[in-house]
């Protein structure tokens, strides 16, 4: 890695973003690539990774997640939760300023953060006029959101300014993961004056309190951020600027990294696995002297969904268990995925989640159990078993084919039906698929985010329970868990619910994703959080 030397005031932005130049000041620039297009720098529309990563550099929330997924103070330096878990009181820092900004009309904006900014930002997410995709973090949770949405109230009664430095939030019922929701990008705080001035174009003129300030964005090409000299955390950020490019081809992005034009990329083209890594998954010596390789847990589960309402798999519970035990997940992750995923030895809740426990045993590869369950289902050695149809997408056909061959060993025949993502979602939502490929990425680091996929109340098409799984005891355990503010007690209830689900087998867990990152030598303190949406750059620095 080179230290990029540039003049922040005199150098044209396109120049230092693309070509390192020398300057006696010796400033550092962290250059990363984003493989998905950036569409907005407004937190209200931070629904995809590029938007999430970049808005997080410009704005702050009341709280934040650290690399271990623990809640940490951010704009709020402390908070209290009432005994019944429905009232949250946040106390704001007194030294937080919004970025200095000059409007096109010549007027300037620069002031301290207050509690009113928090209430206004949260209310904006709930406003139908905003049409934010983040409404769900407050809807059906915060008191008064429904009335505000329906036009029956002019404000959300559950958001209250106690004084300039204190905010209160009231919930309709306890929801222990609520602090994790407030760490999401939708809950980042924005200034009313700037949003009112730019309207929908606030996405192009972001002003926040974050470690970096907005300087330049050429859509589809590059984004430039500069160090915030007024940032409230002393000594941060560690680098003077961030430059993001948007190369969608992972092979091309790697070439730019290798040639010294990038410092960081996430994800690599599958064609590069053998070129970069040895059989044990370590970086080959010819790259190890220039690059650091990171293989991190990611809170994403890949699985097959099973229609529990109709069809052969719904009618024959032992057949679902046979299907699960016939899959060799170790072989799948080792030989096809090259270690870029972990075998799903538990249920839906992925490894890396705070409540994940080895005591929750999933389905191991067990030929004897397969034979026993096939016989119980009325198909000894698979004889007479009709062909099953698996719906999947083109991107996941190779995985489906490998599993198809594994199942054939037990005379479980699977026909692969490959369709585009939109078609797959429609077929599954309408209950027309028997078996299908699915995945779930955590929105927040709590097992409820996964286990609620199987609640009776969440049956598709209105909810995410596309399996139509229904079990009163499962519903009871999960409902009880969400009244528990004690993590240890809540986690035990999660484990009981997941064990019950595994015994009923409405899904076929396959593997838990791992995040692949490459960075040039010299850069340190890169984010390592298992949440793929958490990517703070304020501590990233360079040292030879």
CATH of the domain at 327: 3.10.105.10
Q: Same structural domain for residues 41 and 157?
A: no
User: What is the three-state SS of 120-161?
Assistant: HHHHHHHCCCCCCCCHHHCCCCECCHHHHHCCCCCCCCCEEE
Q: Same structural domain for residues 181 and 159?
A: yes
Instruction: Output the tens digit of pLDDT for each of the chain's 544 residues.
Output: 333 333 333 333 333 344 433 333 679 999 999 998 999 999 999 999 999 999 999 999 999 999 999 999 999 999 999 999 999 999 999 999 999 999 999 999 999 999 999 999 999 999 999 999 999 999 999 999 999 999 999 999 999 999 999 999 999 999 999 999 999 999 999 999 999 999 999 999 999 999 999 999 999 999 999 999 999 999 999 999 999 999 999 999 999 999 999 999 999 887 888 888 887 778 999 999 999 999 999 999 999 999 999 999 999 999 999 999 999 999 999 888 888 999 999 999 999 999 999 999 999 999 999 999 999 999 999 999 999 999 999 989 999 999 999 999 999 999 999 999 999 999 999 999 999 999 999 999 999 999 999 999 999 999 999 999 999 999 999 999 999 989 999 999 999 999 999 999 999 999 999 999 999 999 999 999 999 889 999 999 999 8
CA distance linking residue 167 with residue 174, whole number of Å: 18
**Averaged confidence pLDDT in the chain:** 93
Q: Render pLDDT for 374-427 as a digit per residue (tens, 0 to 9).
A: 999 999 999 999 999 999 999 899 999 999 999 999 999 999 999 999 999 999
What is the predicted pLDDT for the residue at 256?
97
Q: Same structural domain for residues 42 and 138?
A: no
Q: Given the DSSP bridges, would you call strands 507-520 and 264-266 parallel, antiparallel or unpaired?
A: antiparallel
Q: Same structural domain for residues 164 and 218?
A: no
Overall domain count for the chain: 3
Residues in Cβ contact with 86 at an 8 Å cutoff, skipping those fewer than 6 apart: 170, 171, 172, 173, 174
Model pTM score: 0.90
Q: Same structural domain for residues 526 and 466?
A: no
What is the tally of helices (H) and strands (E) in the chain? 18, 21
CATH of the domain at 285: 3.40.190.10
Q: Same structural domain for residues 116 and 218?
A: no
**Distances in whole angstroms, Cα of residue 73 to Cα of each of 4, 77, 98, 176, 437:** 32, 5, 18, 17, 38
Q: Same structural domain for residues 178 and 305?
A: no
Q: Given the DSSP bridges, would you call strands 414-418 and 388-392 parallel, antiparallel or unpaired?
A: parallel
Q: Same structural domain for residues 143 and 155?
A: yes
Question: Which of 204, 219, 254 is at the close of a domain?
Answer: 204
What is the predicted pLDDT for the residue at 12?
37
Q: Render pLDDT for 84-97 as a digit per residue (tens, 0 to 9).
A: 999 999 999 999 99
Q: Which domain holds residue 22?
A: 1-57+210-290+521-544
Question: Which of 146, 170, 204 is at the close of a domain?
Answer: 204
CATH of the domain at 76: 3.90.76.10
Question: Which of 162, 177, 204 is at the close of a domain?
Answer: 204
Q: In what order do the strands lie in the sheet with 87-92?
A: 76-81, 87-92, 166-170, 159-163
CA distance linking residue 323 with residue 313, whole number of Å: 9
CA distance linking residue 85 with residue 384, whole number of Å: 55
Q: Which residues pair with 305 in a beta bridge?
A: 436, 507
Structure tokens at 52: 């999430």
Q: Same structural domain for residues 92 and 215?
A: no
Q: Same structural domain for residues 499 and 488?
A: yes
Q: 65 with 183: CB under 8 angstroms?
A: yes
What is the predicted pLDDT for the residue at 25?
63
What is the predicted pLDDT for the residue at 10?
35
Q: 344 with 510: CB under 8 angstroms?
A: yes
Q: Render pLDDT for 9-42 as a digit per residue (tens, 0 to 9).
A: 333 333 334 443 333 367 999 999 999 899 999 9
Q: Same structural domain for residues 13 and 115?
A: no
Q: Same structural domain for residues 124 and 189?
A: yes
């Amino acid at each position: 890695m080179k230290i990029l030397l540039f003049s922040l005031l005199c150098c044209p932005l396109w120049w230092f973003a693309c070509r390192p130049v020398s300057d006696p000041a010796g400033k550092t620039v962290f250059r990363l690539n984003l493989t998905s297009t950036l569409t907005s720098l407004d937190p209200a529309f931070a629904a995809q990774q590029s938007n999430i990563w970049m808005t997080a550099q410009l704005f702050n929330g009341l709280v934040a997640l650290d690399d271990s997924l623990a809640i940490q103070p951010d704009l709020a330096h402390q908070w209290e939760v009432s005994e019944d878990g429905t009232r949250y009181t946040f106390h704001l820092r007194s030294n937080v300023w919004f970025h200095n900004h000059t409007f096109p009309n010549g007027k300037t904006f620069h002031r301290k953060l207050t509690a009113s900014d928090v209430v206004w930002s949260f209310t904006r997410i709930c406003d139908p006029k905003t049409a934010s995709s983040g409404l769900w973090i407050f809807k059906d949770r915060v008191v008064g959101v429904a009335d505000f949405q329906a036009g029956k109230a002019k404000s959300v009664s559950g958001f209250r300014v106690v004084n300039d430095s204190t905010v209160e939030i009231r919930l309709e019922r306890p929801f222990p993961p609520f602090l994790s929701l407030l760490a999401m990008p939708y809950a980042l705080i924005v200034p009313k004056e700037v949003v009112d001035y730019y309207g929908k174009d606030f996405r192009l003129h972001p002003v926040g309190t974050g470690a970096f300030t907005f300087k330049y964005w050429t859509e589809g090409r590059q984004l430039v951020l500069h160090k915030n000299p007024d940032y409230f955390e002393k000594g941060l950020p560690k680098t003077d600027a961030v430059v993001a490019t948007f190369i969608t081809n992972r092979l091309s992005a790697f070439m730019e990294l290798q040639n010294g034009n990038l410092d960081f990329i996430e994800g690599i083209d599958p064609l590069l696995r053998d070129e970069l890594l040895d059989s044990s998954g370590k970086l080959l010596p010819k790259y190890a002297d220039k690059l650091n390789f990171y293989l991190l847990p990611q809170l994403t589960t890949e699985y097959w969904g099973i229609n529990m309402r109709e069809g052969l798999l719904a009618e024959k519970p032992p057949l679902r268990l046979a299907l699960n035990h016939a899959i060799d997940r170790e072989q799948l992750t080792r030989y096809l995925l090259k270690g870029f995923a972990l075998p799903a030895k538990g249920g839906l809740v992925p490894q890396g989640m705070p409540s994940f426990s080895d005591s929750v045993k999933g389905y191991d590869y067990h030929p004897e159990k397969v034979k026993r369950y096939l016989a119980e289902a009325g198909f000894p050695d698979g004889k007479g078993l009709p062909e099953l149809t698996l719906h999947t997408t083109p991107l996941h056909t190779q995985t489906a084919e490998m599993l198809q061959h594994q199942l054939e060993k037990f005379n479980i025949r699977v026909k692969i039906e490959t369709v585009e993502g939109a078609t797959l979602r429609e077929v599954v939502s309408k209950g027309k698929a028997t078996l299908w490929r699915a995945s779930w990425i955590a929105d927040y680091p709590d097992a409820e985010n996964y286990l609620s996929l199987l609640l009776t109340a969440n049956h598709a098409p209105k909810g995410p329970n596309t399996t139509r799984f229904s079990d009163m005891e499962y519903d009871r355990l999960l409902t009880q868990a969400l009244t528990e503010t004690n993590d240890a007690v809540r986690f035990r209830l999660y484990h009981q619910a997941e064990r019950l689900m595994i015994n009923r087998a409405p899904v076929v867990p396959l593997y838990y994703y791992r995040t692949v990152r490459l960075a040039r030598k010299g850069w340190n303190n890169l984010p390592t959080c298992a949440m793929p949406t958490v990517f703070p750059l304020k501590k990233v620095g360079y040292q030879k």
